[in-house]
Amino acid sequence: MSTRHGIAVGVIALLCGACASTHVTESDRLRAQAAYDRALSQLQERQLSPALAALKEAVAVDPTVADYRDTLGIVYLDLGRPDLAIEQLRKAVELDPRLADAQFHLGTAYAESRRWEDAVAAYRNALALPTLAIPDFVHQNLGLALYHLKRYPEAESSLRFALSLDPKLQAAYYNLGLVLVAENRAAEARAAFRQARQLAPETPFGQAARERLKSLGEGG
């Protein structure tokens, strides 16, 4: 999970799609599949450099498979290159607009680039799809993007919905606290930050919540 800018990213195992056009030969399709499978194994071992090379090979040999580009986009995000991630993830959702996880990852890449309006649109596209596996994370990230746009009531609604799906989602409590501070609802903000701190005091969110509570007049 990434916590840059308070963004939660659920990176899940991805299955290869069988989307091959008539322009890709069977031998190339199999070669790309082999490169993708190799990349997944390398990612499990956190071998990012060889995994990146294998994913680039898969995309180059068979550019028609959305999952290849989605996974490549995730790796670029992990490497701190949201600009390159956006390029691949946009192509992934063009190839398969129903690929909900790619819409979510695209929203996260936009958020990492602080392109909040684009992030909101991508997150909402993801939420509209029945195949979305992690709606709690998407609602959390949507709430944060709306917070940065100063659309506080919408942000609060999204974050509270995320918490209704997962009451232990620490990032959502922390970001809810930010929204409530922005709306001058200090008592409610303290309650949200307390929840974030209580869930995992030593995580970055837990430590940040402790500092927020101090700034609101409550001891750590």
> For the segment 138-181, what is each residue's pLDDT rounded down to a tens digit?
999 999 999 999 999 999 999 999 999 999 999 999 999 999 99
97 φ/ψ angles, rounded to the nearest 5 degrees: -60, -15
Taken in order of first residue, the domains within the chain and their CATH numbers are 27-131 (1.25.40.10), 134-219 (1.25.40.10)
Q: What is the pLDDT of residues 22-68, one digit of tens each?
A: 478 999 999 999 999 999 999 999 999 999 999 999 999 999 999 99
The vertex-10 CA angle with 155 and 173, nearest 5°, equals 35
Q: Map tokens 């999204």 to a residue.
A: 158
**Token pair of 201, please?**
């005091």
Q: What is the pLDDT of residues 167-217, one digit of tens each?
A: 999 999 999 999 999 999 999 999 999 999 999 999 999 999 999 999 999
CA–CA dist 171, 173 (Å, integer): 5
Residue 29, CA distances (Å) to 33, 35, 52, 67, 94 in order:
6, 10, 18, 13, 19
CA–CA dist 73, 106 (Å, integer): 8
Q: What is the pLDDT of residues 64-120, one digit of tens each?
A: 999 999 999 999 999 999 999 999 999 999 999 999 999 999 999 999 999 999 999
**Has residue 2 got a pLDDT over 70?**
no
Q: In this predicted structure, what is the pLDDT of residue 24?
A: 81
CA–CA dist 100, 17 (Å, integer): 13
**Has residue 134 got a pLDDT over 70?**
yes
**Has residue 6 got a pLDDT over 90?**
no
Q: In this predicted structure, what is the pLDDT of residue 23?
A: 78
Q: In this predicted structure, what is the pLDDT of residue 172?
A: 98
Q: In this predicted structure, what is the pLDDT of residue 185?
A: 98
Q: In this predicted structure, what is the pLDDT of residue 114?
A: 98
